[in-house]
Amino acid sequence: MAFLPIFAATALAEDGSISGIVTSANNAAVPDAVVTLWAIVDGTPVFATVPNNPQYTSNFSSTLPGAYAFTGVPPGQYNVTAEWRGYWHYTAVNLTGGTATANIVIPAYINVTALSTPVPTPAFYYTYVPVEVSSPLPQATTRSPGFEIPVFMASILILALARKRP
């Protein structure tokens, strides 16, 4: 029975985590804000020595933009600050173990989406390339009427002479 109070005290002193989302007044996620965890010691904020402190909130390449998480945080009083372009806001957290959620609102954040410049559809252009020909092109010819008869008669005469030979 003497070990039970020691075990209970050890269980209460277990490290926890503080996580949340940094948003605007319109509930838009604030990407790439700097989030810092401050331990409150005798009423004065002191930089908390926990992993990944300070850190950036997740950006739009993540499934949950604006999110942050501190792990390995001992129980106690904390301030979580978020800074975005010179605007500072914070929230107070009393961590008694486990996970505490500390969402922060930066009212001045305006989600500006860059306008994409339309890209024109490529056009296909045909270029005239001159070609040099080494000989003149054949010219179209027309036959004069009656030309076929003298040719026909000459071919008959040649055949007749070829038959008369012994």
Q: Domain of residue 86: give its range.
A: 9-105
48 band by pLDDT with thresholds 50, 70 and 90: confident
Does residue 81 fall inside a structural domain? yes
Identity of the highest mean pLDDT range in 4-8, 11-15, 141-145: 11-15
- Do 57 and 31 form a contact (C-beta atoms < 8 A)? yes
pLDDT of the residue at 75:
92
Does residue 152 fall inside a structural domain? no
Q: Which residues, 6+ apart, have CB-to-CB distance to 82 below 8 Å?
A: 22, 30, 33, 34, 35, 57, 88, 89, 90, 104, 106
pLDDT of the residue at 160:
75
Identity of the highest mean pLDDT range in 5-9, 124-128, 133-137, 160-164: 160-164
Chain-centroid distance of CA 117 in Å reads: 16
Does residue 64 fall inside a structural domain? yes
Does residue 161 fall inside a structural domain? no
User: What CATH number corresponds to the domain at position 56?
Assistant: 2.60.40.1120
Does residue 123 fall inside a structural domain? no
Does residue 45 fall inside a structural domain? yes
DSSP 3-state percent helix, strand, coil across the chain (nearest 5) = 15, 30, 50
pLDDT of the residue at 44:
87
More confident residue, 60 or 103: 103
Does residue 150 fall inside a structural domain? no
User: pLDDT tens digits for 82-139?
Assistant: 888 888 888 888 988 788 888 888 876 665 555 455 566 666 666 666 767 666 666 6
To which H or E segment does residue 159 belong? helix 148-164
- Average pLDDT, integer, range 27-52: 86
For 40, phi then psi, to 5°, come to -95, 110
Nearest to residue 70, comparing CAs of 87, 96, 85, 49? 49
Does residue 42 fall inside a structural domain? yes
Q: What is the mean pLDDT of the chain?
A: 75
More confident residue, 162 or 54: 54
Domain count for the chain = 1
DSSP 74: P
Distance CA 103, CA 92 (A): 10
